[in-house]
Amino acid sequence: MHDTAPTSTTVAASPSRVARFNGFQEPSELDEATRRQIERRAQILAPTYQLFYRRPLDLASGSGAYLYDVHGTEYLDMYNNIPAVGHCNARVAAAVHAQMLQLNTHTRYLYPSILDYGERLLSTMPAPVDRVVFSNSGSESNDLAVRVAQKHTAAMGIVVTENAYHGSTAVGAAISPVTRAGAPSAEFPWVRTVPAPDPYREGENAAARFAADVGAAIRQLQEDGTGFAGFVADMVLSTDGVVTHPTGLFAPVLELVHAAGGVFVADEVQSGFGRLGEGLWGFARHGIRPDIVTMGKPMGNGFPVSALAGSREVLDTFGREVTYFSTFGGSPVAMAAASAVLDEIEERGLVAHAASMGARLLDGMNELRHLDPAIGDVRGSGLFTAVEYVLDQDTKEPDPRRALEVVARMRDLGVLISNTGLHNNSLKVRPPLVIDESGVDRYLEVFERICRERS
């Protein structure tokens, strides 16, 4: 979803940017209707918009783990994590519709659903997390997390991984080097980046090296007068390449963060709500208790809703000094959507389902990996999996070209995925949680076919 990133907040335009993104580039081999729609986009939408695939999809409908284009072609969706309980989930749609006809307002009036949902959400969190703030997007919740951490510590410095993505607000982008938005660096001089752990290359040393780098970044912030406010990390390090193992990676970091008086923010926007197949949250897999947890994307299955859960202590200064109000955040309709999603996850046992489908997916890919000499690593947890391509099994030099080729080939064979990572050389395979055996097997058949084309 994102291109390569700089290793510091000083950003220079890169000529290779477009080439590594799974993006539409030129209107070749397109039918007339698609070409016309792409031209309309250029006339109406700002130049910030990008399309997936060499041949973009013109979608008409969705259902469960499947999307359908205007020609009636079916696509197995192995990419989208937002419709976690299924494209066009009828229960979520009905809950939203019923609530829109009953009451929709904001949090300066009383209504119980925000409390019922808030209580339910907090019951899934370990101490010290015991309070919640609702917003409309993971971006808004991560932006708020930075503000809360900075207020709590009366310091500015934030440490993130070098290809992190945490959102699209100004401050969200500042802590998202993958967006290249750190520039001008004078704007947000308080952001420091460290290379994410890369267990595939670093082996057992990954966790220790990562912690050492975080420690050095913290010391640097303390010494240069910026001060250290907090550490923010995606609990599956998605844009850094999807790092699911070993677990425990963040435990030493959390210790360093707390020893320095900082706030540990676990970004669960991508990893949360059961996707990893072990409980609802990614941080728990790493055996840590964060100070702040942010979430979004699948929370409302496509209805815009997000949350920041944090400890009373960390939220205290911000709560006293700043007026924060989100017009739509935590509205009765947002709570109806989010509650229906949790109902679906619980009643359909989707966390355990993600674990079993994820195991089937991972086992299947591991059995097939020998067919393609460019496959360097296959990894995953639950339904967040990745396949990393390399030019050489020994040097492990990244092969983004092969990854992009596989993404494009899959699209032509009716399966949607994308690529990710610092070097954009990993497949991101991350279907709606409701995918069943037949969906996984269909993916594996296509994966096998593409592997065999190479071997």
The residue count for binding its own copies (CB under 8 A) is: 110
Contacting range for its own copies; rule: CB under 8 A; set: 260-268, 304-312, 386-394, 432-440: 304-312
Among positions 185-204, residues that touch its own copies (CB under 8 A) are 186-187
Each residue 350-389 as x (binds its own copies by CB under 8 A) or -, in order, gives ----------------------------------------
Among positions 103-122, residues that touch its own copies (CB under 8 A) are 103-112, 114-115, 118-119, 122
Task: Tell which one of 26, 29, 32, 101 touches its own copies (CB under 8 A).
Answer: 101
Contacts of residue 392, Cβ cutoff 8 Å, sequence gap at least 6: none
For residue 410, state whether it binds its own copies (rule: CB under 8 A). Answer: no
Q: Which is nearer to its own copies, 362 or 417 (CB)?
A: 417
Q: Which is nearer to its own copies, 53 or 216 (CB)?
A: 53
With left for phi above 0 and alpha for psi between -120 and 50, is residue 248 left, alpha or beta?
left
Residues 171, 143 contacting (CB under 8 angstroms): yes
Residues 291, 126 contacting (CB under 8 angstroms): no
CB of 224 to its own copies, least distance (A): 13
Among positions 281-300, residues that touch its own copies (CB under 8 A) are 296-297
Q: Which is nearer to its own copies, 70 or 371 (CB)?
A: 70
Q: Which is nearer to its own copies, 199 or 421 (CB)?
A: 421
Q: Which is nearer to its own copies, 100 or 352 (CB)?
A: 100
Q: Both ends of the chain: CA-CA distance in Å? A: 27
For 18, 274, 376, 379, 397, the CA distances from 391, given in Å and listed in that order, are 21, 34, 9, 18, 5
Among positions 165-184, residues that touch its own copies (CB under 8 A) are 168-173, 178-181, 183-184
Contacting range for its own copies; rule: CB under 8 A; set: 142-150, 204-212, 366-374, 378-386: 142-150
Contacting range for its own copies; rule: CB under 8 A; set: 144-152, 215-223, 241-249, 387-395: 144-152
Q: Which two tokens stand for residue 403?
A: 């990854």
Task: Tell which one of 125, 146, 361, 378 touches its own copies (CB under 8 A).
Answer: 146
CB of 56 to its own copies, least distance (A): 5
For residue 127, state whether it binds its own copies (rule: CB under 8 A). Answer: no
Instruction: Evaluate the omega torsion of the peptide bond into residue 27 and state whether it is cis, within 30 degrees of 0.
Output: no
**Residues 132, 298: Cα–Cα separation, whole Å:** 17
CB of 211 to its own copies, least distance (A): 28
**Residues 390, 42: Cα–Cα separation, whole Å:** 35
DSSP class of residue 129? E
**Residues 194, 407: Cα–Cα separation, whole Å:** 28
For residue 100, state whether it binds its own copies (rule: CB under 8 A). Answer: yes
Among positions 310-329, residues that touch its own copies (CB under 8 A) are 310, 312, 315-316, 318-328
Residues 122, 156 contacting (CB under 8 angstroms): no
Residues 133, 144 contacting (CB under 8 angstroms): yes
For residue 129, state whether it binds its own copies (rule: CB under 8 A). Answer: no
Q: Which is nearer to its own copies, 44 or 127 (CB)?
A: 44
Q: Which is nearer to its own copies, 100 or 251 (CB)?
A: 100
**Residues 337, 30: Cα–Cα separation, whole Å:** 37
CB of 455 to its own copies, least distance (A): 31
For residue 250, state whether it binds its own copies (rule: CB under 8 A). Answer: no
For 151, 200, 275, 359, 385, the CA distances from 263, given in Å and listed in that order, are 11, 28, 25, 34, 29
Task: Kindly write down the DSSP assignment for every residue of 289-347, as one continuous string.
Answer: --SEEEE-GGGGBTB--EEEEEEHHHHHHHHHH-----SSTT-HHHHHHHHHHHHHHHH
CB of 298 to its own copies, least distance (A): 10
Among positions 33-92, residues that touch its own copies (CB under 8 A) are 34, 37-38, 40-41, 44-52, 56-62, 67, 80, 82-83, 87-88, 90, 92
Phi and psi torsions of 282, nearest 5°:
-65, -35
**Residues 225, 241: Cα–Cα separation, whole Å:** 32
CB of 16 to its own copies, least distance (A): 14
Helix (H) or strand (E) holding 280: none
Q: Which is nearer to its own copies, 2 or 286 (CB)?
A: 2
Residues 269, 300 contacting (CB under 8 angstroms): no
Contacting range for its own copies; rule: CB under 8 A; set: 143-151, 275-283, 371-379, 429-437: 143-151
